[in-house]
């Protein structure tokens, strides 16, 4: 029997509104910030709730790095990898592992450095 269920995935970052806006461009929905801007929910998108929390000392993970950890990553399913790649790059992502065009997935860094995989359905 499960002890809990997954509630919200929260990403630490230096600019919660900017990162929420990036993910709104990918997933749909819109950012909803608290009064002081230290917490932003992404509202109105399908899937697991996503939020962004101010972390002034945020250090982006090194990916891939045998000395460091990617900490975690998000897998986002898409219908068209090429079209999704064009969009994620236009929104400000950086390619991390995108050279092998024969694979069904590609890895990018969001504007705060978190790894994000686009995965073909």
> pLDDT digit string (tens) for 64-81?
777 766 678 899 999 999
Looking at the fold, whether 95 and 44 belong to one and the same domain comes out as no
| CA 46 remoteness from chain centre | 14
pLDDT digits 0-9 by tens, 21-30: 999 999 999 9
Domain that holds residue 33: 9-56
- 83-87 contacts: CB < 8 A, separation 24 or more? 84/118, 85/118, 87/25, 87/26
Q: Which residues, at least 6 apart from 51, have a Cβ–Cβ distance to it below 8 Å?
A: 8, 9, 10, 11, 20, 39, 40, 41, 42
Element (H, E) at 107: strand 105-109
Spatial distance between the Cα atoms of 69 and 67, rounded to a whole number of angstroms? 7
pLDDT digits 0-9 by tens, 35-62: 999 999 999 999 999 999 999 999 888 8
- With cut-offs at 50, 70 and 90, classify the pLDDT of residue 8: very high
Residue at 89 is within a domain = yes
Q: Model-level pTM? A: 0.91
Residue at 2 is within a domain = no
The total of structural domains in the chain comes to 2
Residue at 3 is within a domain = no
Answer yes or no: is pLDDT of 5 > 80. Answer: yes
Looking at the fold, whether 34 and 72 belong to one and the same domain comes out as no
Residue 106, pLDDT score: 96
């Amino acid at each position: 029997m499960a002890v809990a269920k997954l509630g919200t995935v929260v990403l630490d970052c230096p600019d919660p509104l900017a990162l929420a806006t990036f993910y709104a461009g990918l997933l749909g929905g819109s950012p909803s910030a608290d009064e002081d801007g230290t917490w932003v929910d992404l509202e109105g998108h399908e899937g697991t709730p996503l939020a962004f929390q101010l972390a002034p000392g945020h250090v982006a993970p090194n990916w891939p790095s045998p000395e460091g950890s990617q900490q975690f990553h998000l897998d986002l399913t898409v219908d068209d990898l090429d079209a999704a790649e064009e969009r994620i790059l236009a929104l400000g992502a950086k390619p991390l592992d995108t050279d092998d065009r024969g694979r069904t997935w590609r890895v990018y860094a969001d504007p705060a450095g978190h790894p994000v995989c686009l995965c073909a359905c």
